[in-house]
Structure formats: structure tokens, C-alpha cells
Amino acid sequence: QVQLVQSGAEVKKPGASVKVSCRASGYSFTSYAFSWVRQAPGQGFEWMGWISGYNGNTKYAQKVQGRVTMTTDTSTNTAYMELRSLRPDDTAVYYCVREEGYYDTSSNLQYYFDYWGQGTLVTVSS
């Protein structure tokens, strides 16, 4: 069965960096893309960006562009999300999510998130 297992909780000081891992199993890693999504305490979800499991192409949300780097390691079926220059408002649960594709009625390839990791709490505090 598909599983996405993320690394454990982190506590960081403002200005530091964090790197969260997401190990995938139960499917062909290079056939799917990942998104990274975060949820601040008591808040809604925020999409951070996307990375192809096939070729490592990325697209980042403007809000975190310049501070985030998403990578994959196909030898270990692991995706990574690094966020730099951390601020207190980066405190959130970070999720990796697998993107499943489907064709719409116009034969356009579209995506949705079908499997989620268990989440990694990142706390940024001095």
C-alpha cells in the first residue's frame, strides 16, 4: 500500500533552516509528483510548491520562493523540503502529498492530492 513517512518534529530558532524528509513506498516513485503543504496552528492549508518525482522539476509558491528548495532522491524514494531563514510564522505542520493525475473532459492532464504523509511539526521560536 502507498505510504509516505515523514521525518520527526523539529524546533528551530529564527533565521535557521529546516529540512523535512518524506520517504515513499508502495508505488513507483518516479511516476508521481509531490507537493508540500503546510498548516499553521488553527489555520487552513497553504500550498508551498511542487516537485516532479520523475525529473526533479519544481514550481514554488511566490510566498516562499527564494527560501524553499524541494529535492528528491530516487535511490531512496525520498522527497525533501528545505526552508531557510525561518520565521516564527513558519511554525506549522508540514505535509508531503502525492499528486495523482487524471484527464478531464477536454483531455487536459490535471492533478489532485491522493496520499498525505503523517505531517511534521516545525516550531520556530527563540
Partner 1 sequence: DIQMTQSPSSLSASVGDRVTITCRASQTIRSYLHWYQQKPGKAPKLLIYAASTLQSGVPSRFSGSGSGTDFTLTISSLQPEDFATYFCLQSSTTPFTFGPGTKVDIK
Q: Pairing mode, if any, of strands 10-12 and 120-124? A: parallel
98 grid coordinates: 502525492
Segment lying near partner 1 (by CB under 8 A), choices 12-20, 24-32, 40-48, 69-77: 40-48
Of residues 80, 74, 82, the one with CA closest to residue 54: 74
What are the start-end ranges of the E strands in the chain?
A: 3-6, 10-12, 18-25, 33-39, 45-52, 58-60, 68-73, 78-83, 92-103, 109-116, 120-124
9's grid cell: 518534529
Query: Whose Cβ is closer to partner 1: residue 55's or residue 110's?
Result: 110
Q: Does 50 bind partner 1 (CB under 8 A)?
A: yes
Nearer to partner 1, 109 or 126 (CB): 109
Q: Of 73 and 114, which CB lies nearer to partner 1 in the complex structure?
A: 114
**Should residue 32 be labelled a site residue for partner 1 when binding is judged by CB under 8 A?**
no
- Residues 75-114 interacting with partner 1 (rule: CB under 8 A): 95, 100, 102, 104-105, 110-114
DSSP letter at 104 equals -
Question: Is 117 near partner 1 (CB under 8 A)?
Answer: yes
Residues that bind partner 1 (CB under 8 A): 35, 44-47, 50, 59, 61-63, 95, 100, 102, 104-105, 110-119
